[in-house]
Amino acid sequence: MGPEVLQKKLEEEVDSYKKLQKDLSKTTSLRSQLDGQLNENKVVKEELDVINEENVVYKLIGPALIRQDLEEARQNVAKRVDYIQQEIKRHEGTMERLEKESESKRDSITKLQQQMQQILVKQMAK
């Protein structure tokens, strides 16, 4: 493999690595947002668990507060917590895959750089 071909391959690998890092950063950010949502919903769930049927629960829909059945509110929050936890697991799986792919790209980049150095050393020795 000539130096031009190696250089092109190295540039492609670096570009691919940068894209993986960007995707990983985006997924990590989304995962962080989900953590915040999960914590908020857990607080709401805890509050709903301590009140009884005598208390009135309202849900904010647009600019209006609409009265909501307590059991329905509990079920909605429980479903939301479950959904967010599933999304967190999905994002963690994506992050794990992207990290493995990034590691593989780093290894490939390192090998290509070593090959380039060997070619340059041989050319300088001539």
Q: Is the pLDDT of residue 104 over 80?
A: yes
Residue 22 lies in a domain: yes
Task: Tell me the C-alpha distance between 12 and 118, whole Å.
Answer: 20
| Per-residue confidence (pLDDT) for residue 64, from 0 to 100 | 96
| Per-residue confidence (pLDDT) for residue 1, from 0 to 100 | 64
Indicate the pLDDT class of residue 119, thresholds 50, 70 and 90: confident
Report how far apart, in Å, the C-alpha atoms of 104 and of each of 35, 81, 97, 101 are.
28, 35, 11, 5
What is the DSSP secondary structure assignment for residue 118, as one 8-state letter? Answer: H
Taking a C-beta distance cutoff of 8 angstroms, is the pair 26, 94 a contact?
no
For the question of whether the overall pTM of this predicted structure is more than 0.75, the answer is: yes
Task: Tell me the C-alpha distance between 23 and 102, whole Å.
Answer: 10
Residue 8 lies in a domain: yes
For 14-24, what is each residue's pLDDT tens digit? 999 999 999 99
Task: Tell me the C-alpha distance between 10 and 113, whole Å.
Answer: 7
The number of angstroms, rounded, from the C-alpha of 33 to the middle of its chain's C-alpha atoms is: 10
| Per-residue confidence (pLDDT) for residue 114, from 0 to 100 | 92
Highest mean pLDDT among 51-65, 79-93, 104-118: 79-93
CB proximity list for 73: less than 8 A, separation 6 or greater: 48, 57, 59
Residue 75 lies in a domain: no
Residue 62 lies in a domain: no
Residue 33 lies in a domain: yes
| Per-residue confidence (pLDDT) for residue 110, from 0 to 100 | 95
Residue 5 lies in a domain: yes
Residue 86 lies in a domain: no
Residue 4 lies in a domain: yes
Q: Is the pLDDT of residue 120 over 90?
A: no
Task: Report the domain count for the chain.
Answer: 1
- Residue 103 structural domain: 1-46+95-120
